[in-house]
A and B are shown apart, each in its own frame.
Chain A
Amino acid sequence: MRAVSRVAISLTVNGQPHRRSVEPRLLLTDFLRHELGLTGTHVGCEHGVCGACTVLLDDEPVRACLMLAVQANECAITTVEGLAPSSDQLHPLQEAFWEAHGLQCGFCTPGILISMVALLRENPRPTDEEIRTGLAGNLCRCTGYQNIVKAVRLAADRLADAPGLPLSRARERMSAKPIFAPRSGAGGEG
């Protein structure tokens, strides 16, 4: 196989299809932020620890700073900009963060929202301990996590009472279905 200097990629982000030709070394964070102008996904470390760059890749939370844009070819990505149903409504998780003072400077917040969307889909009734474990991959320097946990709990309680609310806006995968057994337990698409 011949190596190429620019690679054509095709992916959907928040339901919108995009085709671009990118350098292989372009990080997914820079692709989203600067190529597509979706600056809600933030960059805190570029070595995969702080979680500020967390996005959903085919519905699973991943660190966008540890991916090359070319690896996202044929994938569906959801960023924080894709959570709210419209410009005058917020996602229930965003509402809960607003009410519970779950953010201060807001820099780590998009990554945390994405991680928590995935957590609540996988585990709709988490204990505080499970929320904190689920948060362990996202660093916050402002809040001491106290009100973040409160916000997630508030959102979980509300979503449990009204299960029809959307939990993510991921679109259909463009790639083939996975070969191995689907996971068991709570969850499924929101």
Chain B
Amino acid sequence: MKPAPFEYVAPRSLDEALDALSHADEGTKVLAGGQSLIPLLNMRLASPKRLVDLGRVKQLTYIAERDGGYTIGAMTRQSALERDDRVSRDVPLLAEAIRWVGHPQIRNRGTIGGSIAHGDPAAELPAVAVCLDARLTIKGPRGTRTLPARDLYLGYLATTLAPDEILTDVWFPKATPGTGYAWLEFARRHGDYAIAGVGVAITLDADSRASTARDPGRIAEARIVVTGVDGVPVRASAAESLLAGAPVTDRHQVQPAALSASVDALRSAIDPATDVQATAEYRRHLAGVLLERALPVACQRAHLTPSPSGRGLG
């Protein structure tokens, strides 16, 4: 299983990279971490004529605090994010989900930009970006554009990224006070693509945050993203709104009626596929189970954020 021949360009700056991509068509591919692309090349499921390797474009590797969040250069390796204290502290959903991405050997090469631009609907990072409304910066011959992550994804492995464009950075907001995050996925083996996964962010209303465990409060806002159950990561907005205002018990359990309605809404909102790993019915069922199990974790973590600059249990 060897790749077909291709021309190879290794620009050393973003300008050189954009120049290399100008006039590019579907026959040119950008090489970021290679963990998704190179298996396709080896199996000759992709045979680009030209590969533009961003590995030498050092200016795309950084983490910078900005606008109440962090702008992360697209070529930043996943393992660097995993080890970064700022990410652990301030973007806990990303920190938790990234540990589920493959294995360390994959994360040492895989990049945040590569994963988000590739957009595998069973992957973790595109889903986290969609859950947190991350903002993507894309540069190309027609200039620079920014868009929320969810607008990048059109369908299975199809994005709005044109062949002559590069995703240059991803901005993630910092965790808000009173919000707890949880990532939970189910895979056959550790490190496999998820059969289904959910990322949740639960914000308790202001009264709740000041309360004690005996007086838990209500959900002010919920964000739910689901992976592995559709062609793109799914924000389950109907399920989210059914949780708004829902009481939370002292054991961090969402009130059963609201939970049940939310889980049903989530199951109705997704269109999973049947494949070699699982049937559509099973995935649909599983997504609901994962939501049921992730919510108490997020609620407990929300409860434990004592002040605006504190952090959840992530």
Interface: A179 (CB within 8 A): yes
* Residues of B with C-beta under 8 A to A51: 103, 105
Shortest distance between the CB of A184 and any CB in chain B (Å): 6
Within 8 A of B (CB), among A1-26: 1-5, 7, 23-25
A118 CA to B107 CA, complexed, in Å: 14
Find out whether the CB atom of A61 lies under 8 angstroms from the CB atom of B5: no
Shortest distance between the CB of A32 and any CB in chain B (Å): 15
Residues 98-142 of B, flagged 1 when their CB comes within 8 A of A and 0 if not, give: 000011111011000000000000000000000000000000000
Interface: A183 (CB within 8 A): yes
Find out whether the CB atom of B38 lies under 8 angstroms from the CB atom of A25: no
Find out whether the CB atom of A27 lies under 8 angstroms from the CB atom of B8: no
A183 CA to B102 CA, complexed, in Å: 20
Find out whether the CB atom of B39 lies under 8 angstroms from the CB atom of A66: yes
Shortest distance between the CB of B85 and any CB in chain A (Å): 6
Contacts A47-B42, A70-B10 given; indicate if A136 touches B61 (C-beta within 8 A).
no
Find out whether the CB atom of B108 lies under 8 angstroms from the CB atom of A25: no
Within 8 A of A (CB), among B1-15: 1-11
* Residues of A with C-beta under 8 A to B1: 46-47
Shortest distance between the CB of A116 and any CB in chain B (Å): 11
Partner of A25, one of B4, B76, B79, B109: B4
Find out whether the CB atom of A179 lies under 8 angstroms from the CB atom of B104: no
* Residues of B with C-beta under 8 A to A184: 83, 85
* Residues of A with C-beta under 8 A to B104: 60-61, 115, 118, 134, 137
* Residues of B with C-beta under 8 A to A4: 7-8
* Residues of A with C-beta under 8 A to B35: 48, 63, 66
Query: B49-57, B222-230, B231-239, B280-288: which one contacts chain A?
Result: B49-57
Find out whether the CB atom of B86 lies under 8 angstroms from the CB atom of A181: yes
Interface: B19 (CB within 8 A): yes
Interface: A178 (CB within 8 A): yes
A71 CA to B31 CA, complexed, in Å: 10
Contacts A4-B8, A48-B39, A179-B62 given; indicate if A71 touches B53 (C-beta within 8 A).
yes
Looking across the interface, which residue of chain A has its beta carbon closest to that of B10?
A70
A62 CA to B77 CA, complexed, in Å: 12
Find out whether the CB atom of A60 lies under 8 angstroms from the CB atom of B108: yes
Within 8 A of B (CB), among A110-128: 115, 118
Interface: A67 (CB within 8 A): yes
* Residues of B with C-beta under 8 A to A7: 8, 10
Shortest distance between the CB of B15 and any CB in chain A (Å): 10
Find out whether the CB atom of B102 lies under 8 angstroms from the CB atom of A137: yes
Interface: A133 (CB within 8 A): yes
A150 CA to B193 CA, complexed, in Å: 29
Interface size on A, residues (CB 8 A): 42
Q: Name the residue among B8, B11, B34, B43 with the largest chain A CB count within 10 angstroms.
A: B8
A60 CA to B78 CA, complexed, in Å: 12
Looking across the interface, which residue of chain A has its beta carbon closest to that of B28?
A3
Interface: A65 (CB within 8 A): yes
Interface: B251 (CB within 8 A): no
Residues 52-72 of A, flagged 1 when their CB comes within 8 A of B and 0 if not, give: 001001001111011110110
Interface: A105 (CB within 8 A): no
A184 CA to B160 CA, complexed, in Å: 37
Shortest distance between the CB of B212 and any CB in chain A (Å): 33
Find out whether the CB atom of A136 lies under 8 angstroms from the CB atom of B190: yes
* Residues of B with C-beta under 8 A to A27: 2-3, 42
* Residues of B with C-beta under 8 A to A67: 34, 38, 109
Find out whether the CB atom of A48 lies under 8 angstroms from the CB atom of B106: yes
Find out whether the CB atom of B34 lies under 8 angstroms from the CB atom of A71: yes
* Residues of B with C-beta under 8 A to A185: 83
Find out whether the CB atom of A180 lies under 8 angstroms from the CB atom of B105: no
Find out whether the CB atom of A63 lies under 8 angstroms from the CB atom of B105: yes
A70 CA to B55 CA, complexed, in Å: 10
30 A-B residue pairs with Cβ-Cβ distance under 8 Å, sorted by A, are A1-B19, A3-B9, A4-B8, A46-B2, A46-B43, A48-B38, A54-B105, A57-B108, A57-B109, A60-B104, A62-B105, A63-B105, A63-B106, A66-B35, A66-B39, A68-B53, A71-B34, A115-B104, A133-B190, A134-B104, A136-B190, A136-B191, A137-B102, A179-B58, A179-B61, A180-B61, A180-B62, A180-B80, A181-B86, A184-B85
B contact set with A: CB distance below 8 Å? 1-11, 16, 19-20, 31, 34-35, 38-39, 41-43, 50-51, 53, 55, 58, 61-63, 76, 79-80, 83-86, 102-106, 108-109, 189-191
